[in-house]
Structure 1
Amino acid sequence: MPEPRSRKDAARNREAVLEAADTLFARCESPEDVTMADVAAAAGVGKGTLFRAFGDRAGLLRALYEARLEPIREAIEAGPPPLGPATPPRDRVPALLDAVLCFKLDNRRLALALEEDGTSSPYRAEHYERWHSVLRAVLEQILGPADSDFTAHALLAATRADLVEHLAGGGEHVAREGMRAQLANFVGRVLASGAPQGSSVEG
């Protein structure tokens, strides 16, 4: 049975909106500069279509963020090393955090817009809870359950979009590879200092 035209139109409109929003956020100086009206105009759809599809600006940001994040999510869930589940925990933790950092660097304006949206706590956002859950589970294999929850939060704090923006373009202008190296060193120190005494866990 052919797919109803209205459903095809909705799917096409959704893709057009995501593509338009993607372009606008990549070009903007400040995430606040991009409005729902701007996205609707760039996508060639009415504002009503935009709000029906995504609810509000926060919903649009989340949908765009998730679309960009999908390849990384797949690599984490079923991919090969260094992100996949077969990776030794002590190698996987820094790889996961490096992936978060690189994602934030590649999507600076979008990540900043999403984390600064203000509609709810960033720690309750679905994408944050997913990162935290994965990281905590891996950390439990290294540090044990007692310290893994807080340590996962603390490590993810080093990849917050506002910090990444400050380091990359807020006057410090830290180069991408320099930032990645600094994060890797920090993660290594945390894992070394937080290992349970007498532990020989190596993953």
Structure 2
Amino acid sequence: MNPPKERADAARNRQAILEAARRLFAEEGAEAATMDRIAAAAGVAKGTLFHRFGSRAGLLYELIADGATGLMEAVRSGPPPLGPGAPAADRLLAYFDAMTCLIADDIELNVAYQALPPHPHREEFHAFWATHISSLLHELRPDLDAEVVGGLLLAPLGGELVPYLVRAGHKDRLREAVRQLVESVIRQSA
């Protein structure tokens, strides 16, 4: 059974809320992005936020899920090299570049999200990334423990260095360093 279609006004409110929240997080940080401020910036009542998202945590999850779902779709069926049809090394590099940008471009949102207790559906995203990374690594480097090495490659993107670099204006440096890290693993001879 398909879920009921969202009303046009509800869809507009949802989009306005997500855009306002993303903007507030980016411009003013996690502390300033309160539900009151988000509601005012979106032009909706605070109750609309709670009705729609349940809590600040629910809103944060929705914002994170929006970007993560887009990246998942690009990996599944987008154009190469991120999507199917490119060599495994190119796909792995494209994935890490896209994931690094996804996190860095919304760093305050990601920092706030990581501080929350895990959302019930959070593991679905992590499992998808882990499977994608490990399958590409296994193809490239069958000599490695692809699951563990893949997890080790991904783990730094959730660490303290990423917000530090992004806030200091070093997004490009971060992207290049992540690329170098991934290349160091895939370029090693078996």
TM-score by length of 2: 0.83
Q: What letter corresponds to residue 158 of structure 1 in structure 2?
A: P
Change (3 A) 1:35 1:13: same
Q: What letter corresponds to residue 14 of structure 1 in structure 2?
A: R
Shift, 1:188, TM fit? 1.7
Helix, strand or coil: the match of 1:33?
A: coil
Change (3 A) 1:13 1:133: same
Q: Distance in 2 between matches of 1:59 and 1:156?
A: 24
**Is the 1:108–1:161 Cα contact (8 Å) retained in structure 2?**
no
Change (3 A) 1:40 1:103: same
Helix, strand or coil: the match of 2:118?
A: coil
Q: How does 1:31-50 map to 2 (within 5 A)?
A: 31-50=30-49
Hey, what does 2:80 align to over in structure 1? 81
Change (3 A) 1:146 1:185: closer
**Is the 2:24–2:32 Cα contact (8 Å) retained in structure 1?**
no
Q: Distance in 2 between matches of 1:32 and 1:135?
A: 33
Hey, what does 2:8 align to over in structure 1? 8
Helix, strand or coil: the match of 2:160?
A: helix
Q: How well do the aligned residues superpose, as a CA RMSD in angstroms? A: 2.7
My pick for the range that moved more, 16-25 or 6-15, is 6-15
For structure 1, list consecutive stretches of 5 or more residues without a partner in the other structure: 198-203
**Is the 1:82–1:92 Cα contact (8 Å) retained in structure 2?**
yes
Q: How does 1:164-183 map to 2 (within 5 A)?
A: 164-169=162-167, 173=168, 175-183=170-178
Equivalent of 2:186 in 185, 188, 191: 191
Aligned residue-pair number: 186
Q: How does 1:50-199 map to 2 (within 5 A)?
A: 50-117=49-116, 119-120=117-118, 124-144=122-142, 147-160=145-158, 162-169=160-167, 173=168, 175-193=170-188, 197=190
Shift, 1:140, TM fit? 2.2
TM-score by length of 1: 0.78
**Is the 1:112–1:161 Cα contact (8 Å) retained in structure 2?**
no
For structure 2, list consecutive stretches of 5 or more residues without a partner in the other structure: none
Helix, strand or coil: the match of 2:157?
A: coil
